[in-house]
Amino acid sequence: MEEIDCEFVHRMPWQQNQDGEETQGAENGEDTAREGDEWAGRGSDLPGAPFKTTLRGHIAMEARPVSEEASKGLAEPYVPRANIAATPERPFGTQEGNWAKQHENDSVLQQHCAFFDPDNDGIVWPWDVFWGFHQLGYALPWCILSVMIISTSFSWFTSESWIPNPLFPINLKHIHRAKHGSDTGTYHNEGRFIPAHFEAIFSKFDKGLKGGVTFYEGLQLIRAQRNILDFAGWVGAFFEMLATYLLIWPADGIMRKEDLRTVYDGSIFYTIAARECERRRLARSESLLFYLFTFFPLNGIFKENRAQTTTEYARGGGKKGRISREQLWNQKAGTGWVEGLKRGR
């Protein structure tokens, strides 16, 4: 039987060359970079570095590049965080109001939903969803639509029984089961927060480095993240993007990075609910007609709700129509935000 000349046996790119050195598609491990390719990890001594992140001529990669900046300002950004929404700017998550400490035993996804559980029993009922969206300033039709989409979609998947509950409760203990596809991937399948995936939202879709994304760029994100035949995921992603934009309603049309981060961990909901409470209290002091106008279905288009700034927090709610998160927590006093907001009226 004729012997095979091993010198002509084809080697795969990841196999070793004759000298026992690992290659990356070129003999003797030579750099195969072309003009237009993007690399990461050049300053690392770890195995596998450097490596390419973008290939020249690849339509999707060139249109949506990834950023290495997160790894420079945050420890291991690709490792999911169990209970904090960490970014290079906020490496320890939300600290105002002692948020991170109060929620150290909750996943980030559970924190996102906690606002809609006013009695803290771990169950979100349809009326909790309705009341929560109402407290955030959404119009009546949107509150009803939210109940129809959220409660009916998530109830059975989070239930501990195979038998559907006709009252559609959502069990926050199992809220990770309700994670849908075609999303950004920022939430891990177990409800953790992945900083690198959150950063990718802006490195891929923040055109012009504005520090945030517009609604149109959000739609581009949804289109880019679609999974094949995932109709439920497409609808869910669009509903969430639209709800987030209506909630923030940025005056310049840009949803800032910190705005979206606090939406992910749910801390912004309490701030906005307190602002809404204060707005209505001030409106009622003006006149009954002005107060009733705050319930008008389109009242949300006249205001924006940014994430609370350090200046605003330190000021203690001095600006008209706003209240500090610290004041809200003092009002809450462990009895639930609904009671706290009622006492503030």
Higher pLDDT, 94 or 342: 94
- Specify if 328 maps to a domain: yes
Q: What number is the average pLDDT over the span 274-294?
A: 75
Decide if 156 is inside a domain.
yes
Q: Which of 219 and 14 is assigned the larger pLDDT?
A: 219
Q: Is residue 296 part of a domain?
A: yes
pLDDT digits (tens, 9 = 90+) for 132-189: 999 998 888 899 999 999 999 999 999 999 999 999 999 999 999 999 999 999 999 9
Residue 30 in any domain: the answer is no
Please give the residue range of the domain that contains residue 175.
92-345
Is residue 5, in this structure, part of any structural domain at all? Answer: no
> Residue 247: which of 100, 109, 86, 134 has the closest Cα?
134
Taking residues 73-89, what's their average pLDDT? 95
Measured CA to CA, the distance from residue 101 to residue 311 in angstroms comes to 22
Per-residue confidence band for 25, with pLDDT thresholds at 50, 70 and 90: very low
Worst-scoring range by mean pLDDT, 95-109, 135-149, 255-269, 295-309?
Answer: 295-309
Nearest alpha-carbon partner for 238 in 270, 258, 255, 216 = 216
What's the chain's average pLDDT? 80
Band the pLDDT of 251: cuts 50, 70, 90.
confident
Cβ atoms of 276 and 137 within 8 Å: the answer is yes
Question: What is the pLDDT at residue 96?
Answer: 85
* From 9-13, 30-34, 209-213, 261-265, the region with the lowest mean pLDDT: 9-13
pLDDT, one tens digit per residue, over 297-324 is 545 555 677 776 555 545 544 443 344 4
Our count of domains for the chain comes to: 1
Q: Is the residue at 252 inside a domain?
A: yes
Q: Where are the alpha helices (H) located in 188-230, listed in sequence order?
A: 195-205, 215-224
Residue 269 forms part of a structural domain: yes
